[in-house]
Amino acid sequence: MLKRTLTTAATSKPFRLAVVGSGPAGFYTSHKLLKESPTTQIDMFDSLPVPHGLVRYGVAPDHPEVKNVMTTFDKVAEDERFRFFGNVTIGKQNDDNISKSIAVHELQRYYDAILFSYGASEDRQLGIPNEDVYGSSSARTFVGWYNGLPRDRDLKLPLEDTDTAVVIGQGNVALDVARVLLSPIDELRKTDMTEYALEALSKSRIKHVHVVGRRGPLQAAFTAKELREQLKLPGVQFRADHTWIHDQIQQHSDYLAKRRPLKRLMALLDQEQNKQGDKSWHLQFLRSPVEILTNNDRVAGIRYEINRLEGPVEKSRAVGTGEYETQECGLVLRSIGYKSLAMDGLPFDVQQGLIPNLYGKMIDHEQNEMPGMYTAGWLKRGPTGVIVSTMSDAYETADTILADLRKDAPMLSSQNHADDDLFQLMYQRQIRHVSYDDWKRIEAAEFQAGAKLGKPREKFTTVEHMLDVLNR
């Protein structure tokens, strides 16, 4: 059911914007534009039938309060000038089958401007031997698996075969996965974690999780809230080289005095716990993985080079000492960052993994601004930052678009404003697009399935099951 036709003039000529990606960046940019520009009309596309990006598929199931932003996104979607086209992939990335998607140059025919906010869907690799062996995976895939992301639902991990896991990286995602591995299963059952993940985790033998970083405690990227949660896990002891951590903190007390959040974080780390329990999590510093060790084609351990820190504390580098250490483990999860993919027809800075831009306006390889082409979120500034920082970043891009509208800057020279042609194109390519009302029906079915299991929702984990709801 169409809410409007693109050719319907409001008070003056409509500004037609396509948004590629329905995560926080796409929604917050839309939110500001709809609020401040009455002539704006937005069509938001997502390759999945369901919206909200990493809010649904990244944020940990035991952080339901973070997911409340979905209510704000619902309000945006209620605007008459907004439409959602889920299950529609835009552009070609890697070996995507273009016959099932809409190319960038095709989309450009229908809109005055396009906002690309398709996030960072891949992960960075360590580049060490045996990284792809059974038992070694990216935290991104593990997160996608427990959150029910269709592409990750079939992940198999040796959770029943080992009691020790190593997480490489010391950011919030690393703590999310460590917490999930060590949380009491009955706590996780109260969340919207998928049933198959709960089933697998209920049989898990993992008792010890090592969270390993190249540098020292002052360079750790996790934040106090996540660390506090980790320290509070029932029956899980915290282990680290407390003397060395304490020395590092003392040594850099002047540096910390000017950085209150980091100082608070260090104060949390600088306490030995006297907790009982047969589980533990270990923070290990100054270790760079050099090889995953195997036995019968599965993870048996990991070998590190031991580092020392060089340079001033704010820029300290990890430098290998030539000394090595091995550790036994059956599971390795690398959590060293997400990565955006280039898209055919768009500029891309491979080094930084983002779309070159000036306050959200794309710039081409000759440093020229590209009329009507914008970006926001992780694709614009690289895959770091929480939802609040993504919101500020999205608002900045919205301001850039609003400024361009005010000064009547050149936009895309779209030739075709007829909805019918866009729908015809999707029909020809057998793309079954999903509206926001459709999504709400899928969501209602998820709530219903969840209620039967005593949890907030049970997600559909295949596209077919999501679409089946709409055929009922």
Ligand X SMILES: Cc1cc2nc3c(=O)[nH]c(=O)nc-3n(C[C@H](O)[C@H](O)[C@H](O)COP(=O)(O)OP(=O)(O)OC[C@H]3O[C@@H](n4cnc5c(N)ncnc54)[C@H](O)[C@@H]3O)c2cc1C
- For ligand X, the binding residues (CB under 6 A) are 20-26, 45-48, 53-55, 58-59, 63, 66, 89-91, 93, 117-119, 121, 143, 173, 176, 338, 377-378, 385-387, 390
How far, in Å, CA of 422 to CA of 424, rounded?
5
Closer CB to ligand X, residue 45 or residue 110? Answer: 45
- β 331-334/164-168 pair status: parallel
Q: Of 149 and 309, which has the nearer Cβ to ligand X?
A: 149
Is 77 or 173 the residue whose CB approaches ligand X more closely? 173
CB of 176 to ligand X, least distance (A): 6
Q: What is the DSSP letter of 64?
A: G
CB 158 within 8 A of CB 425: no
**Would you say 439 and 49 are in contact if contact means Cβ atoms under 8 Å apart?**
yes
Minimum Å gap between C-beta 149 and ligand X is 9
CB of 114 to ligand X, least distance (A): 11
Q: Smallest distance from the beta carbon of 192 to ligand X, in angstroms?
A: 14
Distance CA 235, CA 183 (A): 9
Alpha helices in 302-430 (DSSP H): 378-381, 387-406, 419-428
Shortest CB 223 distance to ligand X, Å: 10
In one letter, which amino acid is 259?
R
Q: Which is nearer to ligand X, 112 or 226 (CB)?
A: 226
What b/e string do you get for 311-330 counting C-beta neighbours within 10 Å, with b at 16 or more? eeeeebebeeeeeeeebebb
- Residue 364: CB atoms within 10 Å: 12
As given in the structure block, the two tokens for residue 99 are 């016959």
End-to-end C-alpha distance for the chain, whole angstroms: 17
**What minimum distance in Å lies between the beta carbon of 29 and ligand X?**
9
Residue 47 or 357: the one with the smaller Cβ distance to ligand X is 47
Decide whether 236 or 376 has the Cβ nearer to ligand X.
376
How many Cβ atoms are within 10 Å of 178's Cβ, its own excluded? 28
Distance (Å, rounded) from C-alpha 6 to C-alpha 420? 10
Smallest distance, ligand X to C-beta of residue 141, A: 11
Spell out where 141-248 has E strands: 164-168, 208-212, 236-239
Taking the least distance from each CB to ligand X, the nearer of 14 and 360 is 360
Give 119 or 347: the residue with its C-beta nearer to ligand X.
Answer: 119
Alpha carbon separation from 442 to 69, 103, 121, 343, 344 (Å, rounded): 18, 27, 23, 29, 31
Cα–Cα distances in angstroms (integers) from residue 125 to residues 62, 137, 259, 335, in the given order:
27, 10, 31, 9
- For ligand X, the closer CB: 122 or 161: 122
Q: In angstroms, give the least distance from the CB of 261 to ligand X.
A: 15
Q: How far apart are CA 317 and CA 341, in angstroms?
A: 28
Q: How far is the CB of 362 from ligand X (least distance, A)?
A: 15
